[in-house]
Amino acid sequence: MWRDVVYLLTPGEKTRDKYGAEVIGEPIQREVMANRKSVRQTEFYQAHAVGIRPEIVFEVQAAEYQQEQTLIHEGTTYHVVRTYSKSGEHLELVCSRTSLEV
């Protein structure tokens, strides 16, 4: 049933270097099976009107998602724009290559 692999990214730990400056470590990747889906047409146009560019949707097991905001699929980094659960068991991650952070 699951056809794709995504890597959910958890930000690296914040530490301090020998000079006391804050340093963020490498993100931690976690492999999760998913289904790649298309963005619905209405959602695409509504989001685009307010400057958000949803490009792809990944369906994952809800229990596997731990609020990660970034993922990698086939070498491309995506940012999670929003999540949507239809059944409670599965979760759709609506993603964009552009970060929403300013």
Instruction: Say what the pLDDT of residue 102 is.
Output: 47
Tell whether the model's pLDDT for residue 10 goes beyond 70.
yes
Q: What is the pTM of this model?
A: 0.82
Residue 29 host element (H or E): strand 28-37
43: confidence class by pLDDT, cuts 50, 70, 90: low
Query: Rounded CA gap, 92 and 62, in Å?
Result: 9
Burial class of residue 17 in the structure, from the number of CB atoms within 10 Å of its CB (0-12 exposed, 13-18 middle, 19+ buried): exposed
98: confidence class by pLDDT, cuts 50, 70, 90: confident
